[in-house]
Amino acid sequence: MVMGLNLRTPLQIATLACGFAVAVGMSPSVAADDVLVIGAPLALTGGLADEGKKQQDVWKLWLDKIEAAGGITVAGKKMQVKFVEYDYQTDGKRAGQLAEKLVTDDNVDVLMAPFGSGHTKIVAAVAERYQVPMLACVASSVSVYDQGFKYLFGTLAPNTGMTESMVEFFKAKKPDLKTVAVYGKDGVFPKAMATALAASAEAGGIEVVYNELYAADTMDHSSAVSAIKAADPDWVYMTGYTQDLILGRKQLAELGVTSPIITMVTGPAYREFTEGLGSLADGVTSATWWHHATAYTDAVGPWSTTASFYEDFKTAFGSDPDYVHGSCAAAADVLVNAVQTAGSKDKAAVRDALAATDILTFYGPIDFGDNGMNQGREMPIIQVQGEAVKVLYPAAIADADLAMIK
């Protein structure tokens, strides 16, 4: 028996109340037909709590827009939307257990995946077993999508495109870029990014002079940083999650690593990274799947433009959204579009509609490939400059040029 399953998050309580209001005076079967139930195991405590909270926040913002419109229209009738969430405490095994509870006890119509490729892969196996459509908004590792899953769809593009564009961009900006040190966390996403960068660097003529992984529970990077300093690379590339990267950047500075390019994926994409480092964040680069500087218009969903999503988010939270917010809100838009296309909540029909998706959201185009991943597109390269995050690439949305770390 999984402990604590009776605990509900604030969003779950709010959405359950909405669902109850819809169901009053109706038989259970009618109520079920008139409510789209979305299940979401979220990391609201533990090591990924910051990331899980972002998913919860943006889905609440999205749900507010849906409720303000009176629900969604499916086959000419209004349908309400309800989220049911549980905190899996950043424990992958628990994420799978809670996903099964959402399917078998809460009878959800679709699942939203948790943060990260590793935990998404666990939950995707549950969704596949019960043939429940699942949207993953923060999983970009191809290894999650090469399992033959037919019910899994991801809004992030493959991370390999991110490393190839970064190598090409940095070489163009620094023609004498010859060497790189790669240091990645031993987890599904960060390991995949480290592996992809090393391969892209070698393919681009950059020598990889250091290439190591660190354990998930690593609390001191000084030994690795000392080895990186000895290798004296032109470029340091580190992958991991926010707190890992904050510690890594501090130790790079403390031990005197002076590489002109330092990349931390995906640190600068998160406000917590820049706030946690202060001036030490200055000059750090990264790549991300989305930035609010994009200017998509005529999009499906409650936000017809990128600008309107940005304004609503800024008003609600007083800060800029990052790619997690954008991708997860877009995943909800994709889900609604699939239900509307299918004309019902029938799981097989919704799955088929997702597979055929080719739409534009405020976040950008969504077109799922044969493996369920969003097709590759230009992904922004960003850099912390002063107290702001600037876009360096692609040129269409760039608002700064690459600054070397001195």
pLDDT tens digits along 106-137: 999 999 999 999 999 999 999 999 999 999 99
pLDDT at 153 over 80: yes
Beta-carbon contacts of 373 under 8 Å, excluding residues fewer than 6 positions away, are 140, 142, 145, 153, 154, 156, 157, 158
Tokens 């005197």 found at: 256
Is the domain of 75 the same as that of 21?
A: yes
Contact 224, 202 (CB under 8 A): no
Question: Is 194 among the domain residues?
Answer: yes
Is the domain of 146 the same as that of 75?
A: yes
Is the domain of 241 the same as that of 385?
A: yes
Question: Is 353 among the domain residues?
Answer: yes
Question: Is 403 among the domain residues?
Answer: no
Question: Is 2 among the domain residues?
Answer: no
Is the domain of 274 the same as that of 336?
A: no
Q: Please report the pLDDT score of residue 211 as a whole number.
A: 98
Is the domain of 126 the same as that of 201?
A: no
Is the domain of 79 the same as that of 38?
A: yes
Closest CA to 239 of 141, 156, 147, 98: 141
Measured in whole angstroms, the distance separating CA 206 from the mean position of its chain's CA atoms is 29
What would the mean pLDDT of 192-209 be, rounded to a whole number? Answer: 96
pLDDT at 265 over 60: yes
Q: Please report the pLDDT score of residue 32 as a whole number.
A: 66
Is the domain of 104 the same as that of 188?
A: no
Q: Rounded to whole angstroms, how far apart are CA atoms 302 and 281?
A: 35
The answer to whether the peptide bond before residue 266 is cis (omega within 30 degrees of 0) is yes
- CATH code of residue 131: 3.40.50.2300
Q: Please report the pLDDT score of residue 359 as a whole number.
A: 96
Is the domain of 119 the same as that of 226?
A: no
pLDDT at 70 over 70: yes
Question: Is 229 among the domain residues?
Answer: yes
Q: What is the mean pLDDT of the chain?
A: 90
Q: Please report the pLDDT score of residue 188 as a whole number.
A: 84
Q: Rounded to whole angstroms, how far apart are CA atoms 89 and 99?
A: 13
Give the global pTM: 0.79
Question: Is 316 among the domain residues?
Answer: yes
Expressed as residue numbers, the domain containing 35 is: 10-157+293-367
Question: Is 100 among the domain residues?
Answer: yes
Is the domain of 22 the same as that of 151?
A: yes
The answer to whether the peptide bond before residue 233 is cis (omega within 30 degrees of 0) is no
What would the mean pLDDT of 259-277 be, rounded to a whole number? Answer: 92
How many other CB atoms are there within 10 angstroms of residue 33's CB atom? 15
Identity of the residue numbered 242:
T
Is the domain of 40 the same as that of 83?
A: yes
Question: Is 205 among the domain residues?
Answer: yes
Q: How many folded domains does the chain comprise?
A: 2
Is the domain of 222 the same as that of 306?
A: no
Q: Please report the pLDDT score of residue 29 as a whole number.
A: 35
pLDDT at 79 over 90: yes
What would the mean pLDDT of 70-99 be, rounded to a whole number? Answer: 97
Which tokens belong to 164? 């190839």
Give just the sign of the alpha carbon dihedral 245, 246, 251, 252: positive
CA count, 13 A, side-chain hemisphere, 217: 0
Is the domain of 129 the same as that of 117?
A: yes
